[in-house]
Amino acid sequence: MGLEQSSFSFSSSYKVIVINMSELQYQEGRTELDALGEFALIKRLTDGFERHHASTIKGVGDDCAVIGDGDVKTLVTTNTMAEGIDFDMMYTPLKHLGYKAVAVPLSNIAAMNGTPRQITVSVVVSNRYSVEALEELYAGIRLCCDRYDVDLVGGDTGSSRSGMVITVTALGTAPKDKIVFRSGAELHDLVCVSGDLGSAYSGLLILEREKVTYQANPDFQPDLESYDYVLERFLKPEPRLDIVKMLADRGVVPTSMIDVSDGLASEVLHLCHASNCGCEVYEERLPIDYQTTRVCSEMSQNMLPVSNALNGGGDYELLFTVNQKDYDKIKEMEGVHIIGHITEAGMPAVMVTPQNSTITLVAQGFRQ
């Protein structure tokens, strides 16, 4: 359909928007955004879009889009971080923020078993930020690019009335027979996760606690020295491209994979939903660092480290499944933990406790 055949014109639509914007909050049958959750909202908004090009291999619904005509495909992913929602400038150094803004979409490339190549960066800021502040932000961006051999190839800048918004689009590559989607898990596959879980959220809890104390007493000087690990996990996460390389060196191609951005429970449910299967993960096999356990005990007697691991988010580890034939290749892999197995279609995703009871996984904010 050509532009001249479009069923609406910009000018007429604009008039409707001007007239009705003030009335939107009073519409009957209004659906609130938080009634759906992020992924259900994306599905609702993007359903019905047709594919116009054969080079679009995978669109919405995975960690990256997959495009290209040759044997090596291009991976594309975009991530946006907004001040006051995704980061708090009271305790976020600008250099760390720049690094994290790049690391997060690179983690999506890793989750597709790919190699990142380029990024674009768009920043919208208010006049509260100086040139020197933005130079510090871009110093963090450059540091992450240098560490992972990624080129900054473009972007945009703009102004806002308040705060900062950073959008990073990452591009990567992967051979078409090595790309890993969320939808490939099969019955009896082993469920694995890299690193440890819940530490990033524990770092956030510490920072929020110190923020509240400082607001009550501006003379207060926080002592964060003994929380270095969990603070770095939150403020400066690392994409697990090292795990991708280790798997490749052992000749292992996961059957499915996703990065742990929203907590283990949410990501397990995503894999099960995409792969039409169930899952059992074992509580006693979840990798949890001692600092996460310590933070939980400091915060509340009722705060369990396993809750941070299941629902905390922000760890950017890799959750993946492998065929049982690859067990010998991964059982001794440093930083990789086998935490469960895939069950048949129609079965729920559950966590098995040390007492051998099962708890159905329900991720905070996750809706199919």
Q: What single string gives the DSSP state of each residue in 272-286? A: HHHHT-EEEEEGGGS
Structural domain total, the chain: 2
Q: Mean per-residue pLDDT for 193-210?
A: 96
Do 138 and 229 lie in a common domain?
Answer: no
Q: Can you read off the two tokens belonging to residue 271?
A: 């894999």
Do 162 and 45 lie in a common domain?
Answer: yes
Instruction: Tell me what pLDDT residue 367 has.
Output: 41
13 found inside a domain:
no
Beta bridge partners of 157: 123
CA distance 73 to 262: 27
pLDDT at position 221 over 90: no
Name the strand (E) or helix (H) holding 308. helix 305-311
Interacting residues of 229 by C-beta distance below 8 A, sequence separation 6+: 199, 289, 291
**Per-residue model confidence as pLDDT tens digits over 78-124:** 999 999 999 999 999 999 999 999 999 999 999 999 999 999 999 99
Q: Check which CATH number belongs to the domain holding 311 and give it.
A: 3.90.650.10
121 found inside a domain:
yes
Do 218 and 299 lie in a common domain?
Answer: yes
- The range of the structural domain enclosing residue 99 comes to 34-175
Instruction: Tell me what pLDDT residue 366 has.
Output: 39
261 found inside a domain:
yes
Do 345 and 243 lie in a common domain?
Answer: yes
Q: Mean per-residue pLDDT for 231-245?
A: 97
| pTM of structure | 0.89
Instruction: Tell me what pLDDT residue 108 has.
Output: 97
Do 141 and 218 lie in a common domain?
Answer: no
Q: Check which CATH number belongs to the domain holding 124 and give it.
A: 3.30.1330.10
Do 153 and 106 lie in a common domain?
Answer: yes
Interacting residues of 120 by C-beta distance below 8 A, sequence separation 6+: 152, 153, 154, 155, 156, 168, 169
- Look at residues 106, 141, 175 and tell me which one is the last residue of a structural domain: 175
329 found inside a domain:
yes
Do 83 and 231 lie in a common domain?
Answer: no
Do 237 and 103 lie in a common domain?
Answer: no
